[in-house]
Amino acid sequence: MKIRLYSRTADSGGGLLKDNLASLDDYIQQKLDQSAFQSSFNELSLTIFCPSKYVDSAFKRMEDIFNEHYATLPYCRVNRRFKSIAISLKAPEFSTYFQTDDQKQNSGKFSDQTEFKDLSEVDLAKTLIDKYSEAIQFIKTKIKKEDIFDFEIIESVLSGIKEKISSQFLNEITNITKTDNHNRAIAFSKSNRRERLHNNTEADTLIRDIRLYFAYKLPPSLLYLNRFANLVLRLLNNKEFKCPGYHHLYISIADTREEALKKAIIVEDWYTFGVAVLAEDTLVKASHDKQQKLILQAIEEGLLDIATLDKLNKSKIQEAIKEAAEIGVLTEIPFKVKENKRFAFAISTKTVLGLNEEEIFFTILDKESGLIVKWKFGQENIFLIGGWFGTLNVTNKKITIKPRAYMDMVLKDRPKIIEIDVLKELNDSTKLVLANNKSSNGT
């Protein structure tokens, strides 16, 4: 049975443990595999929910949603069809564990929930074993007669590990696991890259997505730099840049090439990875203009890496990068467009430098008259926009914008469905008129 450990906080989800706790679940898995443990289930996933001690105001709405779900825990789902067990537990002991140094240093700018206390790494490791034990007790209430689950053996494994826990023990298993995982990941990535160099597959697929994966965590104020990936994607599509079968291009960016290779693991045929080197310290300390150049250089390096391996059109990549540099990431960029025979409606966004936000603009075009009106709808967190403006519908009377299903709780006091009266907006004298062909023709 495979054990999978996840964590969730108000501003992140699915993250793994870090530092000397990162290898503890692997060690538990190893000892369980070496025991005589038997189970009719193939997977046990444990998710620990950790209330944040310091919460950035940009994530306040997400914190409210987190707290609502947190109040419903514990939770257990036994899925016999897929032979899996999922457990979610409260873990306030980890309230500061997932916080960044920047958050802790600026704690005066964040809400401080003093009922949570900092624990040492050793105490947290023992706490984690206790969480596994709590999960096992929870499973006991859900198991049926026909299920197989050796409670005695898994409880013995957990108690044996807890007795060993010390700073030295955590250091030892971390060093062993890090070395093994590092070597395996790099070997796998290099093997895949050698195979690609010898393949000769026709480039026949237009790309749908370019994403940047950093080995380090970008500060919220730099997340807008990811917009370069969308800009380059659009420019490459304009040039009909194609790939052999896959349509998602991922770029692994790290301090060193080996670290980037370690993250560039390909397990499906619909995406691929390229690697690029960009030191975290260099990026974070650079000026805004330099940061934009560095990110664009990393995108170029990653895409050219893919092109070298799979024999793609490098000149189109270089042209797109040059054009992206000229356009810039702070310009207004089209986000979504929808039209019918009479009207066209567009949503565009523009990054607010220094904030994790974007200005949102709406534009309506009357194809018969040539009248174009535009107005600023508002300014929002970057993460909200994609989900809020999920689908567009345009008729001759109104434009309807609906959010994606998962956004209901996130939006809260914001309008979930936005309806725009087309004629009313076209005749609104406060709106910015970009063109009016009838007026210019004297009609």
Mean pLDDT score of the chain = 87
CB proximity list for 170: less than 8 A, separation 6 or greater: 20, 21, 23, 24, 121, 122, 125
Task: Tell me the pLDDT tens digit for each residue of 165-217.
Answer: 999 999 998 888 878 877 888 888 888 888 888 888 899 999 999 999 999 98
Rounded to whole angstroms, what are the CA distances from 369 to 347, 377, 422?
Answer: 21, 24, 14
Report the distance separating Cα 88 and Cα 165, nearest Å. 24
User: Domain-by-domain residue ranges, the chain?
Assistant: 2-165, 186-327, 333-440
Nearest to 169 by CA among 27, 43, 39, 299: 27
Rounded to whole angstroms, what are the CA distances from 110 to 16, 54, 57, 105?
Answer: 23, 5, 7, 10
* Bridge partner list, 85: 44, 78
Quote the percentage of the chain above a pLDDT of 70. Answer: 90
Tokens representing 234?
């659009």
- What is the model's pLDDT at position 151? 94
398-402 sheet: strands from edge to edge:
391-394, 398-402, 418-421
Neighbours of 412 (CB within 10 A): 11
List, as one string, the DSSP characters of 291-320. Answer: HHHHHHHHHHHHHHHHHHHHT--HHHHHHH
Place of tokens 């210019």: 440
pTM of the model: 0.57
* Bridge partner list, 302: none
Angle CA(212)–CA(214)–CA(219) in degrees, nearest 5?
Answer: 105
Q: Which residue has the higher pLDDT, 354 or 3?
A: 3
Rounded to whole angstroms, what are the CA distances from 200 to 115, 188, 196, 302, 303?
Answer: 61, 20, 8, 20, 18
- What is the model's pLDDT at position 437? 60
- What is the model's pLDDT at position 322? 96
Mean pLDDT of the region 287-306: 96
Cβ distance 25 to 132 under 8 Å? no
Of the given ranges (47-51, 174-178, 216-220, 311-315), which has the lowest mean pLDDT?
A: 174-178
Strand, coil or helix: what is 419?
Answer: strand
Cβ distance 216 to 280 under 8 Å? yes
For residue 354, pLDDT beyond 60: yes
Cβ distance 375 to 362 under 8 Å? yes
Q: What are phi and psi of 342, to 5 degrees?
A: -100, -40
Q: How many helices (H) and strands (E) does the chain have?
A: 15, 18
24-34 vs 167-198: helix axis angle to the nearest 10? 90
- What is the model's pLDDT at position 203? 92
Task: Tell me the pLDDT tens digit for each residue of 240-285.
Answer: 999 999 999 999 999 999 899 988 888 888 999 999 999 999 999 9
Strand, coil or helix: what is 274?
Answer: strand
- What is the model's pLDDT at position 114? 44
Place of tokens 């450990």: 5
Task: Tell me the pLDDT tens digit for each residue of 52-76.
Answer: 766 666 566 777 888 888 999 999 9
- Which CATH number is 2-165's, of 3.30.479, 3.40.390, 1.25.40, 3.30.160? 3.40.390
